[in-house]
Structure 1
Amino acid sequence: MDWPSAIKGFKVYMKLERSLSANSVEAYSRDIEKLFQFAQTGEVTLKPEQITLTDLRRFIGFINELGVLPSSQARILSGVKAFYKYLLTEDLIVSDPSELLESPKIQRKLPDTLSYSDINKLIAAIDLSKPEGPRNKAIMEVLYGCGLRVSELTELKLSNLYLDIEFVKVTGKGSKERLVPIGGEAIKALKIWIDNVRVHIPIKKSEEDFVFLNRRGARLSRVYIFMMIKDLALTTGLQKTISPHTFRHSFATHLVEGGADLRAVQEMLGHESITTTEIYTHLDREYLKSTIIQHHPRN
């Protein structure tokens, strides 16, 4: 079995059997390409079925020496484990060398968040006199108001907006759909964009159902959203490094700080595991700690 054929089959498996998005499939295949590169570092190129647990441990050392962060190492090893599970499922190997492989311990980093005041400043900095102004305001309101991933935002469709009952249907990781509540400010901004501006844009064929379009009538790219937010941060003089994901973190943090049930936040974010959502309880504890220190009479 050669590496190119194995990787090609793995990509098909991840797409059809695991129903992963194109971005996830590409990320996994790039991780296996790294293992392929490692397999070529010896005198003889090891085939996928010749890789042992010892080889995989050496591979961890290999990517560590390259300066790959522990969080990225863990993701790469997740891809390696999925690859060997695929080979085992297809009877291309008789045993899984990654079964006893341990991932590097990752120190969970608390995500950066914005204050409500910061978010208001960023939204207020949008120039509504420009053609893209109403659209950009709607983007910011939806990012913060619904806690969407940037890919979920760019893929948002008109047919999945249920603004009369204050919900939007979102397609998340693994093509899983979920209903997310949407608040009044986001609904207002969306309606202004859709009813007053978007209707005047000549839309490209097959792009008619996407909510957010550029001036040429095509859906917006993720890169555009990143750049737009960076520009707003510069305009307002915000000293934090922010991205679209910062608004998702802020959405979750503000809900938890306000007393929202963790399971409800998990549903809204589309987290498969409650453990992923629990990181926001750490942020909440810090908030409570600072509040107690500041306001308690014995402090």
Structure 2
Amino acid sequence: MKKLISYLLITLLSSLLLLSACVQEIPAPDPDVKDPVEENPGQDSDNVPEPEVEEPIDEGNLSPTPEEKYEAHQIVLYFSDNDLMGTYRVEKEIVVREGDQIEKAALEAWLKGPDHDELMGLINSKVIIEYIENFGGVAHVSFSKEITELNLGSSGELLFAEQLAMLMQQFGFEQTQILVEGRVGESLLGHLYTGEPIAANDPESYLWVDEKISREIVLQNVAFRIFEPSPGAEVKDRIVVRGLARVYEGTIMYEFEDGHFILAEGFTTASEGAPGWGEFEIIIELDEVSKYSGTVILYEESANDGSRRHELKIPVKVK
């Protein structure tokens, strides 16, 4: 009996020691950490909100994105009339993004063509301006290869080079070198030598588009375009011939004859020589003889042998 009692006491003591060791292993609560239920009385412990998780920072895009700035600039563009007889000035406002080339933006506006009905652009939309660089005060303008596919003829090619040089002149370049894909060539379309820079003219030698007078051509050939008189027109006291000429040094020779005799002859000078078209006016005073038919003959003298070239006959009736 005593042995049984001793065994029970030993077992009880062992159980108490084991329980004491388990209680010591439970960590005491941190006094600085507040229970969410105690911090928000009345809130159900099952509805405690989860802590917010911050989005990860994109280390590859740490720089701020500034707003793009644009500036307006007044520029002058140059376009041909619909008959490729001359070049006219047009004032235009363009908007350029800060940091972009104003010169390149101006040429791109030129490529788009004019808004005026009596003017035309020379370049199609496929042509790209690759770059513009300053080499010793000369503007180097490089076009994409599509520029060589234009069908302008000799007059159109001359006008193209002229307009390009005038566009760059307003930005301080008196000369402009044409390049195709970064290379200088001897010719652009086979009519004009482009191995050297093109010099700009005086801007004041070009009319503004508002100064352009709409005139109808009544008679023409490769050297002359006549506004008046119309073929067969009736005249009295004098004959006034007005038009455009594209002749060497602008010198125009003329005669007035009645089929038998030369009644008047002389020469005048157009406002511009070839290859440009210059304006001219000829006034032929008539004598008292009336009621006959006559012919005004315009021509150019060859610089080589003095022969007549590009004759244009205008028949008239004298009252």
TM-score (norm 1): 0.29
State the structure with more CA Rg. Answer: 2
Indicate the structure with greater strand content: 2
TM-score (norm 2): 0.28
Indicate the structure with greater helix content: 1
